[in-house]
Amino acid sequence: MYIKSLRLADFRNYEKLGLEFSEGTNIFYGDNAQGKTNILEALYMIATTKSHRGVRDRDLIRFDCGEGHIRTVIIKDGVDYQVDMHLRSSKSKGIAINGQKLKRASQLMGLLHIVFFSPEDLTIVKNGPAYRRHFIDMELCQLDDLYLSNLNKYNKIVDQRNKLLRDIARTPSLSATLPVWDDQLVEYGTKVIARRAKFMQNLNDIIGDIHLRLSGSKEHLSIRYEPNVSVGEFAGKLSAAHERDQYLKSTSVGPHKDDFSFICDEIDLRRFGSQGQQRTCALSLKLAELKLVENLIGEAPVLMLDDVLSELDTNRQNYLLEALGGIQTFITCTGLDEFVNNRFEIDKLYQVTNGSVTEVN
């Protein structure tokens, strides 16, 4: 699959933009705050209906404008799909595929698949657990509609249960309704846990070989899913936590507290890894994700590297480069030195200056 073209109108700092992409490597370079990441963000919107920066639709519309538009043409299995996304400041977004309006935005999921790599991903090993959950969820929500829907329901129930816990502080008799929320939390939570466990297992099956290559045959890496609670113990632990949850006014048991760890030759890299080891490990994780998605959907996803190349040393850049064959890639950077130094294949080169893009080659 690849993205053939992008058109923007009143999206972020773009008033109007029209670009045709290469099926290979597309590079956007320019100074800070010119609009490089905004282009990746627009494409990411088409893959996931959401911004990778986690902002609301209205923040994506150009300042002082009432609406914004993204149009892409995606080629998948040789078929053209034109996707139109209409962002509105006070209403939910409208989406059409080949002119046919979708009833729900989530129907767009699964058409375009993007693996997004940002500098924050390089610190995933040592960041807090929320970053690692975000990694799992970003990928699984793209891969699996059912997971997306179960996770959304689960998160809503957590919010509602937390609201109830706050209300109980004022009106103690409400605690009688807590078990109703517990049942629903367990129903959807167990589905989330089971799907995450399978995903982590799939990644684990791939990451060992990748990391062995990346570390020059030196390190054996595995990842270990650490669910906050197992499926079998969920209901029991949740009801045993009633008193504590009421005191904390927050739900303390469930997959919204999950984590996973990176084990390298029996050492937990989060606590004992060197910075270099942690970064190599993060790169292995991204490459494993890329490979897993390719295995699961039967074709290569589109890869986005937002400002990560300059963060990697030459060796790791080269490993990354090797992995890119046959994958449409979008890269942003502030300088071109690393490409010139490292025999990078550049198919299209764009300079980005203050909301306008010029093709250089």
Ligand X SMILES: Nc1ncnc2c1ncn2[C@@H]1O[C@H](COP(=O)(O)OP(=O)(O)OP(=O)(O)O)[C@@H](O)[C@H]1O
Query: Among 5, 13, 155, 184, which residue sits at the site for ligand X (rule: CB under 6 A)?
Result: 13
Strand partners, 92: none
| Nearest alpha carbon to residue 60 among 79, 34, 81, 86 | 86
- β-bridge pairing 329-333 and 25-29: parallel
Does 62 contact ligand X by CB under 6 A?
Answer: yes
| Residue 55 is a binding residue for ligand X (CB under 6 A) | no
- Among the listed ranges 57-65, 88-96, 239-247, 294-302, the one in contact with ligand X (CB under 6 A) is 57-65
Q: Which one-letter DSSP state was computed for residue 175?
A: G
The minimum distance between CB 256 and ligand X, in angstroms, equals 29
Counting residues that bind ligand X (by CB under 6 A) gives 18
Site for ligand X in 297-326 (CB under 6 A): 307
Are 227 and 197 within 8 A, CB to CB? Answer: yes
| Minimum CB distance to Mg ion smaller for 37 or for 328 | 37
Q: Does 33 bind ligand X (CB under 6 A)?
A: yes
Contact status: 34 vs ligand X (CB under 6 A): yes
Coil/strand/helix, residue 120 = helix
Using the contact rule CB under 5 A, the part of the chain among 34-42, 53-61, 74-82, 106-114 near Mg ion is 34-42
Distance between CA 248 and CA 135 in Å, rounded?
A: 27
Out of ligand X, Mg ion, none, which partner does residue 359 contact, by CB within 5 to 8 A per kind?
none
Binding Mg ion (rule: CB under 5 A), the pick from 26, 34, 37, 284 is 37
Out of Mg ion, ligand X, none, what residue 62 binds, judged by CB under 5 to 8 A for its kind, is ligand X
- Of 123, 112, 126, 141, the C-alpha closest to 54 is 141
Q: Return the range that interacts with ligand X (CB under 6 A); candidates 17-25, 27-35, 110-118, 131-139.
A: 27-35
**Would you say 225 and 200 are in contact if contact means Cβ atoms under 8 Å apart?**
yes
| Least spacing, CB of residue 159 vs Mg ion, in Å | 31
How far is the C-alpha of 201 from the C-alpha of 40, rounded, in Å? 29
Interface pick for ligand X out of 22, 38, 277, 329 (rule CB under 6 A): 38
Window of 56-64, 119-127, 217-225, 278-286 that interacts with ligand X by CB under 6 A: 56-64
Residue 2 or 28 having the CB closest to Mg ion: 28
Distance of alpha carbon 303 from alpha carbon 301, whole angstroms: 6
SS (H, E, C) 299-340: CCCEEEEECCHHHCCHHHHHHHHHHCCCCCEEEEECCCHHHH
